Amino acid sequence: MSDITKQSLTELVESIKNKKLSSSEVTKAFIERSEKSKVLNAFITEDFTSALDKAKKFDQKPNLDLKLPGIPMAVKDLFCTKNVKTTAGSKILNNFVPTYESTVTENIWSEGAILLGKLNCDEFAMGSSNETSFFGNVQNPIDKNLVPGGSSGGSASAVAGQLTPITIGTDTGGSIRQPASFTGTVGLKPTYGSCSRYGIVAFASSLDQAGPMAQNVKDCALLQEVISSFDAKDSTSINFKRSHYSKDLTNNIKGKKIGIPKEYRVDGMPKEIEDLWQKGIEYVRNCGAEIINISLPHTSYALPTYYIVAPAEASSNLARYDGVKYGYRANGENLIDMYEKTRSEGFGVEVQRRIMIGTYVLSSGYYDAYYLKAQKVRRLIKNDFDEAYKKVDAILTPSTPSSAFKIGEKTNDPVSMYLNDIFTVPVNLAGLPGISIPAGHDAKGYPLGLQIIGKAFDEQNILNIAFAIEEKINFKNKITDWWIK
């Protein structure tokens, strides 16, 4: 039974379809391992009893035509799940139980998957280390006291630690790709508009996008196929023809033109990262693709642009948490006093910081200098990519400028924390798809990721490239189960 959790999603689906395993056996295996893995603190809410019931029900009448037949799965606690507490990692939603289901999770359950529980994340997805969660730090299965990245830290930890065969996260500035990179897993941020935002607790509406996190590219493709759909309930959802990402997955990338942007060679980047990138370039070349040097001239403005746009939207999106309708409420002398106390006590430090930044950049007298300017730069960043994509089919970069760091290492230095997202943020600003795949280890044995950025709606292409080099890299995650005694 113990090696059930070692199986990939694709293998588990096969096993259930071939009736080698039942949904109950699989579900039980992941629950047992999760029970032994509390140290990781990956879960905010466990829904194990209900999961076992659902698995039993599935086994009584298994529908094996589904894409995720009886597959147990935990999801980031940013997705609203009907009748299951949804906190967004915040005290302010600590008592919030939605009466509705997000479109993305709805898509997953309707393909036969079973909810295991809700995974830890940075508060309102604001963070790069999962340290801003009201529910505490998450441990990276790679090493003790190592952050799993963020904001989808619980999701990354749960996949790497085999507490769930696969999961979904959300990515506003790198929140899927960075933790994937830190935990040796695969994470895809789809094109903006590919996955519905309906029922996802909003951070920055123009950047937020849900995506799959998996042990390998094929699993990732399968889940992307399930979650991506046009949804009239999200006005920014785009109705385009979606591929059968897993069925159409191929390692044949001969003749593809891959761009290498010189601006991603940032000052102070560790040599290991540079070497990894070089290795990646070699792999791609070995697969028959063509390497082309490109320029994305406005790259260095991406991070400051992001840290204006995202907090601005967040400051407004989080205004609804006011203690009036749902969630945490502090007692106050009057309405204003209640607001102030509720929001001071209900939000953590990082969220408050971003609300203040966002409020500031939208204020009259500053709007033009900050928010409007940032929107203009955002357009230039997008134009850079459009220009590059006249010459290349995809772009290869490192996922992060470093490997995972220790818990507490950067908590007092927000700017150094923000720098983590330097390679991922431009992709969100441009609304493009990007995937991070594990590509090697640093000297400490911590995983390092490579990022492949695609054209809008061209998830299939970057999945194919990732699939091709995944074979060449033959990455093995070094998980010692250190947390299981």
Partner 1 sequence: MSKKSREYLINRRDNQYEVVIGLEVHAQVLSESKLFSTSATKFGAEPNTQVSLVDAAFPGMLPVINEFCVKQAIKTGIGLNAKINKRSVFDRKNYFYADLPQGYQISQFKDPIVGEGKVIIDLPDGHKEVGIERLHLEQDAGKSIHDLDPQNTFVDLNRSGVALMEIVSKPDLRSPDEVSIYIKKLRSIMRYLGTCDGNMQEGSLRADVNVSVREKGSKEFGTRCEIKNVNSIKFMQMAIEYEANRQVDLIEEGKTIDQETRLFDIKKNETRSMRSKEDAHDYRYFPDPDLLPLQISDEFVNKLKSEIPELPDDKKKRFINEFKLSAYEATILVSDIEIAKYFEEVVAKMGKNKDIKLAVNWITGELFAVLNSKNLEITQSPVSAKNLAILVNLIKNGTISGKIAKTVFELMLKNDEDPQKIVEENDLKQQSNPKALEELIDKIINNNREKAIEYKQGKEKLFGFFVGQAMKASGGKANPQLINEILKKKL
Residues that bind partner 1 (CB under 8 A): 79-80, 86, 88, 93, 96, 98-100, 102, 197-202, 204-206, 232-236, 312-313, 315-316, 318-320, 322, 324-326, 335, 339, 359, 362-364, 367, 371
Using the minimum distance from each CB to partner 1, give the nearer residue, 185 or 194: 194
Give the β-pairing of 434-441 and 447-454.
antiparallel
Residue among 34, 133, 151, 436 flagged as catalytic: 151
Backbone angles phi, psi at 117, to 5 degrees: 165, -175
Instruction: Report the C-alpha gap between 259 and 9 in whole angstroms.
Output: 31
* Contact in structure between 304 and 351 (CB atoms under 8 Å): no
Minimum distance from residue 197 beta carbon to partner 1 (Å):
6
Instruction: Report the C-alpha gap between 42 and 212 in whole angstroms.
Output: 17
Minimum distance from residue 231 beta carbon to partner 1 (Å):
9
Minimum distance from residue 68 beta carbon to partner 1 (Å):
22
Minimum distance from residue 313 beta carbon to partner 1 (Å):
5
Q: Give 143's contacts (C-beta < 8 A, 6+ positions apart).
A: 404, 444, 445, 446, 482
The count of residues in the chain is: 485
Nearest to 76 by CA among 184, 10, 159: 159
What count of other Cβ atoms lies within 10 Å of the Cβ of residue 133? 29
Minimum distance from residue 437 beta carbon to partner 1 (Å):
29
Using the minimum distance from each CB to partner 1, give the nearer residue, 360 or 483: 360
Minimum distance from residue 439 beta carbon to partner 1 (Å):
33
3-state helix, strand, coil in the chain (%, to 5): 40, 15, 45
Using the minimum distance from each CB to partner 1, give the nearer residue, 22 or 316: 316
Instruction: Report the C-alpha gap between 183 and 403 in whole angstroms.
Output: 9
* Contact in structure between 219 and 435 (CB atoms under 8 Å): no
Residue among 175, 181, 228, 243 flagged as catalytic: 175
- With tokens 């969630």, the residue in question is 327
175 catalytically annotated: yes
Using the minimum distance from each CB to partner 1, give the nearer residue, 234 or 263: 234
Minimum distance from residue 206 beta carbon to partner 1 (Å):
4
Q: Give 250's contacts (C-beta < 8 A, 6+ positions apart).
A: 464, 467, 468
Peptide bond into 151 cis (omega under 30): yes
Q: Give 154's contacts (C-beta < 8 A, 6+ positions apart).
A: 41, 42, 43, 44, 76, 77, 119, 120, 121, 130, 133, 138, 148
76 catalytically annotated: yes
Residue among 28, 54, 76, 218 flagged as catalytic: 76
Minimum distance from residue 421 beta carbon to partner 1 (Å):
19
Q: Give 97's contacts (C-beta < 8 A, 6+ positions apart).
A: 83, 84, 85, 86
The CA R_g of the chain, rounded to the nearest whole Å, is: 21
Instruction: Report the C-alpha gap between 193 and 190 in whole angstroms.
Output: 8
Instruction: Report the C-alpha gap between 128 and 125 in whole angstroms.
Output: 8
Minimum distance from residue 87 beta carbon to partner 1 (Å):
10
At 107, which helix (H) or strand (E)? helix 103-110
Using the minimum distance from each CB to partner 1, give the nearer residue, 75 or 473: 75
Using the minimum distance from each CB to partner 1, give the nearer residue, 366 or 482: 366
Nearest to 127 by CA among 89, 83, 85: 89
Write out the two tokens for 277. Answer: 């990138």
Burial of 135 (0-12, 13-18, 19+ CB in 10 A): buried
Residues classed as catalytic:
76, 151, 175
